[in-house]
Chain A
Amino acid sequence: MSTIAQAQALDAQFRAGNLSAGEYKELLEDLKHTAAINEAAGDLAKLTQIHEVLEGLKFAAGFI
């Protein structure tokens, strides 16, 4: 589910009276925290991939 869709789902919950204003605001803030976690996770996955390539090069150099 996209961030916009999640925000819309929260809005629907708030309008239905299932969430207080404070709870609604906090859950919207959590979407920002989630986006930041996803971005950092993507960066870490990318670094891991590059690290594996570098390790492969190091290993290959050992045969020369």
Chain B
Amino acid sequence: MKKLLIVLAVVSLSGCATIQQTTLYRAWNMAKFDNNEYSQINSIRTVANLGAAKCGTPEVLPVVDSLYYKSVEFKNYSASIPFNEETVKMSGELAEIIKGLNVRYHEKEPVSISYCTLKFGTIEKNAVTIQNVVGAKPR
């Protein structure tokens, strides 16, 4: 009886124009809140937040390396979790942003302070966006 009611409710919901059956299936099975995933994106956000002040100094290089390592770690970790497509997409895009910063700091040409500041700002802003939705995942 209970299962029948759930099925009826789901079928009635799928009748809505904006909700497809595949969306319902994905929502039902979606990856739950993961402490490690949340910790990783929080770490990226924090490093970006504190690292911006080091732009224009030699101390920025280890920060950039750390950010790149953490972003790849986050991407790899999220990719191993089933029904986690949205987080995989976000972690991949964030890793691409950070990769650009890492590549530029390992080239011979000097990096401008404006670029560094803008880049850290972009990384932090996106990390906050990701952290908010990853933190709101169902428990």
Contacts and interface: CB of A to CB of B under 8 A. Distances in A.
Interface of A: 10, 13, 18-20, 22-23, 26-27, 29-30, 33-34, 36-38, 40-41, 43-48, 50-55, 57-58, 61-62, 64
B30 A53 contact: no
A33 B2 CA distance: 44
Contacts, number: 112
30 contacts: A19-B114, A19-B118, A20-B112, A23-B114, A26-B115, A30-B119, A33-B126, A34-B93, A34-B97, A34-B122, A34-B126, A36-B89, A36-B90, A37-B93, A40-B90, A44-B133, A45-B136, A48-B27, A48-B30, A50-B23, A51-B27, A51-B28, A54-B10, A54-B27, A55-B138, A57-B9, A58-B6, A61-B2, A64-B1, A64-B5
Contact of A41 (B24, B28, B90): B90
Given A23-B112, A61-B2, A61-B5, A38 B23 contact: no
Q: Name, among A10, A23, A47, the residue most crowded by chain B CB atoms within 10 Å (CB to CB).
A: A47
Nearest to A25: B100
A15 to B, nearest CB: 12
A13 B114 contact: yes
Contacts of A20: 109, 112, 115
B114 A47 contact: no
Contacts of A57: 5-6, 9-10
Contact of B138 (A10, A13, A48, A61): A48
Interface of B: 1-2, 5-6, 9-10, 13, 19, 23-24, 26-28, 30, 86-87, 89-90, 93-94, 96-97, 100, 104, 109, 111-112, 114-115, 118-119, 122, 125-126, 129-130, 132-134, 136-138
